[in-house]
Amino acid sequence: MSLLNNAVDSIQVGVEDFDMGDDRRNSSAIRNIFAGILLLYKEKLCRLSPEHDKELLIKKKIRPVINEDGELEFQGNGHNTVDVQMMKELFQSLKVTVDWKRFNEVNKLRNDLEHYYTAKSPDAVREIVSKSFLLIRDFTTNELEENPVSLFGEDCWKSLLNVADVYAKEESECKESLERIDWTYPTVATILVNLRCNSCHSSLIFAPYEDDTYPTINLTCRSCDNDFCFDDVVSDCVKESLYGDYVRSVMDGGESPYDTCPECQESTYIHDEECCIKCEYTQEHTHCDNCEEKLSLDEQILDGRCSYCQHKWEKMIAE
C-alpha cells in the first residue's frame, strides 16, 4: 500500500473517530489526522525522489555511492524515515510550500490536548480538526495536485469542511468582540492570540461587554460557558506569547521582555510597557537618586538607590 493510501486511510479513520461524538475517541481522532498529514508530506518527498529510488528523500540517512555504471548516485541507508525538522529543511530547499506556523500550532495543540485537556475539551478538538483541514486542503491541492474530494471521499471531506466552516464563523465572532475592547496596552492586544479558556482550553473566547474598562475585562467561553476575567489568564497569555522571545534574548545575552511583578507576583511586568499589565503596577523609582542610573525591578526595594550606591551607603553606615 502506498504512502498516499496510508495517508488517506489515516485521515478518514480520524474523521470517523471525531464524528462519533465520543470524548473518549478524541485523542485517537487527532492522532490519526495528524499522522495522515505527515504521510501526505512524505508522499510529496517520494514524488520528488529520483526514479532509481522513489523513497530516497524520506530516508533519514542518505549516502553517496558509485553504481555499477561507475556513476555517482545517492542511496537511502536503513529503515528510519525523516522527522519533522528534516522535512522542514527538505521542503525549504525543494521549494515545497507548507504553512509551518499553522502546522506548529496544530502540533502544540495536539500535544497539549493529549496530556491535559482531552476529556473536557470538545472545542479544542474541533479547533485542531479545523486547522488540520486547512493544512490538508492546501497541501493536497497545491503540492500533490490532487482533488481532495475525490482523494478523501465526499463524506470525509464534507465532515472536515463543515467543522472548519462552523469553527471559522464562531472564531470570527469571538475575534470581533475582542477587537471592540480597549486593551490599553499594545502588548496586550498582541498576546490575545494566545487567549484560551482556563477551564477547557478552547480559543473561542467572547467579550460580552464592550464597555468594560481594562484590566477588568469579562470573558465567556463559547465552548463550555465558563465565565472568567482577563486577569485570570493574562499570565498564561504572556508566557505563551513571549517565552520564545525570552529564550532568544537570554541566549544572546539580552534581557527578558517580561518579569515578575513586585506587586502581584505574576510574570506580567512588561518592560516595553514599563508596567505590569495585570495589576498596572509601575516603578516608584526609575533612576538612582545618587548616580541617575536606570533602576531595575529588583532595585525597587532600595529606596531610590541602585545596587552599587546602596552598597556604598551601607559600607559608609557600617564605618
Last residue of one domain, picked from the residues 121, 142, 172: 172
Q: Is residue 76 classed as helix, strand or coil in its secondary structure?
A: strand
- Same domain for 168 and 264, yes or no, is no
Same domain membership, residue 16 and residue 163: yes
Q: Assess if residue 59 is contained within a domain.
A: yes
Scanning 49-153, the segments in alpha helix (DSSP H) are 84-93, 100-112, 122-142, 148-152
Shared domain for 21 and 144, answered yes or no, is yes
Chain position carrying cell 525538522: 85
207 in a structural domain: no
Q: For residues 221 and 177, is the Cβ–Cβ distance under 8 A?
A: no
**Strand, coil or helix: what is 263?**
coil
Given 172, 195, 214, the domain boundary residue is 172
Q: Do residues 275 and 168 share a domain?
A: no
Asked, for residue 36, whether it belongs to a domain, the answer is yes
Rounded CA-CA distance 62/196 in Å is 43
Q: Which residue has the cell 472545542?
A: 123
Q: Are residues 143 and 267 in the same domain?
A: no
- Among 123, 116, 113, 119, residue whose Cα is nearest residue 224: 123
Same domain, 39 and 153: yes
Is residue 73 within 8 Å of 54, Cβ to Cβ? no
Of 172, 199, 229, which residue sits at a domain end?
172
Print pLDDT tens along the chain (319 aa). 589 999 999 999 999 999 998 877 888 899 999 999 999 999 999 999 998 889 999 998 888 888 777 777 788 877 889 999 999 999 999 999 999 999 999 998 888 877 766 555 667 788 899 999 999 999 999 999 999 999 999 999 999 999 999 899 999 999 999 999 999 999 999 999 999 998 888 889 999 999 999 999 999 998 888 999 999 999 999 999 998 888 888 787 778 899 899 889 999 999 899 899 999 988 777 676 667 677 667 666 556 666 667 666 666 676 6
In sequence order, what are the residues at sequence separation of 6 or more whose Cβ sits closer than 8 angstroms to the Cβ of residue 215? 184, 230, 231, 234, 277, 278, 279, 280
Per the domain annotation, does 310 fall within a domain? yes
* Residue 145 is assigned to a structural domain of this protein: yes
- CA-nearest of 84, 103, 91 to 33 is 103
Provide the grid cell at 258. Answer: 517580561
Does residue 28 form part of some domain? yes
Same domain, 273 and 149: no
Question: How many domains, in total, are found in the chain?
Answer: 2
Note down the domain range covering 288. 259-318
**Looking at the structure, do residues 24 and 168 belong to the same domain, yes or no?**
yes
What pLDDT, on a 0 to 100 scale, did the predictor assign at position 297?
72
Q: Please check whether residue 126 lies inside any domain of the structure.
A: yes
pLDDT value of residue 270: 93
Confidence (pLDDT) at 246 = 83
Q: Specify if 114 maps to a domain.
A: yes
The CA-CA-CA angle for residues 25, 26, 28, to 5°, reads 65
What is the distance between the alpha carbons of residues 225 and 230, in angstroms, rounded to a whole number?
15
**Distance between CA 40 and CA 6 in Å, rounded?**
9
pLDDT value for 283: 79
DSSP readout, 272-311? TTTEETTT----S--B-TTT-PBPPGGGGGGTT--HHHHH
Q: Are residues 128 and 16 in the same domain?
A: yes
